[in-house]
Every structure is written in structure tokens, then in C-alpha cells.
Amino acid sequence: MSVFKARVKEFEDALDENEIDLSYLRQLCFNGIPDVKSLRPRCWKLLLGYLGTNRESWNETLTKKRTLYRQFIEELVLPPGLKEAHTLDARNGCLNDHPLSEGAESAWNIFFNDNEFLLQIDKDVRRLCPDISFFQQPTEYPCDIVVNSNGERRLHQRVVPSVLKAANVERKGLGITKINLITKRSEETYEAMEEGQEAHWEVVQRILFLYAKLNPGQSYVQGMNEIVGPIYYVMASDPDSDYREHAEADCFFCFTALMAEVRDFFIKTLDDSEGGIKNMMKRLSQMLQERDLQIYERLKSQELHPQYYSFRWISLILSQEFPLPDVVRIWDSVFSDEQRFQFLLKICCAMILIQRDQILQNDFASNVKLLQNYPFMDINVVLSKAVSLCYENYLHTH
């Protein structure tokens, strides 16, 4: 039996147990999940806590969650004027609610406020992973209550780019004013599908919209699209069609579970908390200082502060620094880390150390460019370096 087949069998045996040994599964996943069968989607669901360790509970959990998600779509993805609850007032025969209402409880007022963050979501998901065509392609399993709604439940229709008209006014002396009309249409990066179909980016848009609706204290923040993207890609690429059919619902709950852990990255008032982004950048800086004082002093002397590069690295879990397949591999290890983001910091530190020679000879501008546009390299080199940092840390503490 080949090494690869033996490794696949280790995963299959671990996942076939009635009670999953999560600690052992983490050890397996840390070194990368084989990209075969349904191993990665299933492991991620376990590592993110969407599925419990009791295998007999999986079907009940999945059925319950998927039914709940469908209810979210039915209740939250529909303009107020089309809801049955929109009725006439029995006393005066006029509408309880109307589009011009500014009341806090007004469904129409809420609708227009929702469109403000929906517009940002729409812009962001149309730019998702432009290096691959996956998100522009139609999904095999479009949501029937959306794609057959005559556009009423199509979220992008609410913020569809409109025709913009501008006029150039020319006037010479006291002569006749000449007006040249210019018509411009906002460019759409990803096109929407026709009735009966929807692209993967439209599905991701709906996931983010529902998350924002159900988490009003946090709502939507730019960058969340970069976190949900890889999760959806993994779920929607599941070789098992029965699971692939429910990729949207499963992705929503996995994304929600992950956001519960990284939410501090996206809430400005929590920047200074233990799990906040400022504290994470500080820990990375301290780690670099301990591992390589020369690089640390070089960056410090250039006043190249961690927020110039590591803010994005940490808050988006490196999803914008590497190609999608590499991001997925990184997340195998990050999700397997019991301390979760301790290993993420090790990866970030390794990325800097690997560029040691370049950093020491570069000026400020060149180093900013280097770290903000990390050069392409074998992701296994980066991960191996990060693992060596873990080993060094173990030796220091024992």
C-alpha cells in the first residue's frame, strides 16, 4: 500500500468510529487533509464544531440545521411589500407600513438600511478569488425558492448597478449652452445568472447577507467575504453530491462557527482585547523579536509597523496572500490547532523569517512591497518553517 493510500485509510478509519477522537483527528488534519472523497469537508465540519464527535448524531444535526437555514431564506430574503404580514390596518384602511416609513420597527426602513451593507457585500463577492473561475460558474444546486421567484428574492437585484447619466456643459461667451449627455454603466465583475440559475458568488452573497441580518451587532464587515470564500469552495466541491447539494447551509453554519472565534478581529472596539487584532499583531512582533532580533530591529528602524502587513494576514487568516488551494491547505493546519490562532502566528512569523536576506538588504519601500505582496513559493516550505518554530518553542519551555 502506498504512503498516500495508507494516509487516506487513516482518515477513513478515524471518521468511521462511532465516537470521533477529535484529538487524534486534529493530529491527522494538521499535516494536511488528502484531497479525495469527502475527507476535507467532513473534517472541517468537525474541526469547526458544526458536527459533534458522536457520528450517530450527524444526520439529525444536518437535517435540523439545513431546515433552519431554509427558514432563514424564506423569512429574511424577501422585500417587505411581498410579505403576507404586510396587511391593511382594520381601522383606517391604510397600510400599517409603507416605503416612506422611518419608524425603527418599520419593515421598509429596515429593508433600506439592510441595502446599505448589501451593496458592500455585492461589490465584495463579485471580486471573490478572481484568479479562478469557480465563483463565476453556475451552481449545480441553485436555491429553488430564490431562482424561481421572478427576481423577488434575488439579493443583487436590490442593489443592481444602474445607468448613470452625467452632463458636460459647454458655454462660450454669451452663446448657446451646449450640453453633452454621457451615459455610463457601472462595470460588473461577475455577471448574475438568468432565472432558474445562480452563480456561486450569488450563493456566497446570500450567506453573508443572512449572517449580517442574524448578527446585527456585528453586521457585515469587509473581509468576511474572503473568509467565507474558501469554506464555501470546499463544501461546494465535495465529491459526494448529497453533501454538495447542501453546501450553502453547511457553509453558513461553518462560517458562523469560525466567525464566533475571529469576531474580535472585525469589531473595532475589541481591537485591544486579548483576542483583538492589535494584541495578535503585538504577539507576532514579540515572536519575531524572540526568533530573529536582527530582522525585528531592521523593521523597527524602518518604522515598518506590523499593521502595514500583518493586519491583513491575521484578520483574513492569510486568505489573500496565497492561491486558494494553498489557503485551503493552510486552513487544514489552522483549524487543527487546539489554540487555533497560535499556529497562524507561527505561519506569519515563518513568512517573515523566510524572507530574511531580502528584508535585511531592502529599503523601507521595497520591504513594504515584499510583505504586502508576498512572493509565490511552495506553501509546504512556509508550513515546515512554522512547524520548526513550534518545535523550538517546545524546547524553550521544556
Residues 250 and 284 grouped into a single domain? no
Place of cell 493546519: 333
Residues 153 and 117 grouped into a single domain? yes
- Report d(CA 389, CA 383) in Å as an integer: 10
One pLDDT digit (tens) per residue for the chain, 398 residues: 689 999 999 999 999 999 999 999 999 999 999 999 999 999 999 999 999 999 999 999 999 999 999 999 999 887 766 554 444 444 444 455 555 555 555 666 767 788 889 999 999 999 898 888 999 999 999 999 998 888 778 888 887 655 444 545 554 444 444 444 444 433 445 777 888 899 999 999 999 999 999 998 888 999 999 999 999 999 999 999 999 999 999 999 999 999 999 888 877 766 677 778 899 999 999 999 999 999 999 999 999 999 999 999 999 999 999 999 999 999 999 999 988 789 999 999 999 999 999 999 999 999 999 999 999 999 999 999 999 998 776 555 64
- Report d(CA 156, CA 7) in Å as an integer: 43
Q: Does any domain span residue 242?
A: yes
Residues 275 and 371 grouped into a single domain? yes
- Final residue before a domain boundary, out of 232, 265, 298: 265
Q: Does any domain span residue 379?
A: yes
Q: Does any domain span residue 168?
A: no
Question: What is the residue range of 57's domain?
Answer: 3-79+108-161+181-265
From 326, 369, 330, select the one nearest 346 (Cα to Cα). 330
The C-alpha cell that represents 99 in the structure block: 416605503
- Final residue before a domain boundary, out of 265, 299, 322: 265
Residues 144 and 278 grouped into a single domain? no
Cβ–Cβ under 8 Å, residues 231 and 259: no
pLDDT of 171 reads 46
pLDDT of 331 reads 98
pLDDT of 217 reads 85
Q: Does any domain span residue 99?
A: no
From 249, 231, 222, select the one nearest 328 (Cα to Cα). 231
How many domains, in total, are found in the chain?
2
Residues 308 and 240 grouped into a single domain? no
Residues 226 and 148 grouped into a single domain? yes
Residues 362 and 375 grouped into a single domain? yes
- Report d(CA 342, CA 334) in Å as an integer: 8
Cβ–Cβ under 8 Å, residues 8 and 36: yes
From 129, 158, 306, select the one nearest 231 (Cα to Cα). 129
**Inter-CA distances, 351 with 222, 287, 358, Å:** 24, 12, 12
E strand or H helix at 136, and its extent?
none
- Final residue before a domain boundary, out of 265, 283, 298: 265
Residues 355 and 381 grouped into a single domain? yes
Q: Does any domain span residue 48?
A: yes
Residues 137 and 30 grouped into a single domain? yes
Q: Does any domain span residue 102?
A: no
Q: Does any domain span residue 92?
A: no
pLDDT of 340 reads 79
Residues 249 and 379 grouped into a single domain? no
pLDDT of 207 reads 98
**Inter-CA distances, 384 with 52, 95, 260, 270, 387, Å:** 30, 65, 28, 32, 5
Residues 322 and 252 grouped into a single domain? no
Q: Does any domain span residue 90?
A: no
Which residues lie across from 169 on neighbouring strands?
179
- Report d(CA 286, CA 290) in Å as an integer: 6
Residues 202 and 334 grouped into a single domain? no
* CATH code of the domain containing 308: 1.10.472.80
pLDDT of 85 reads 43
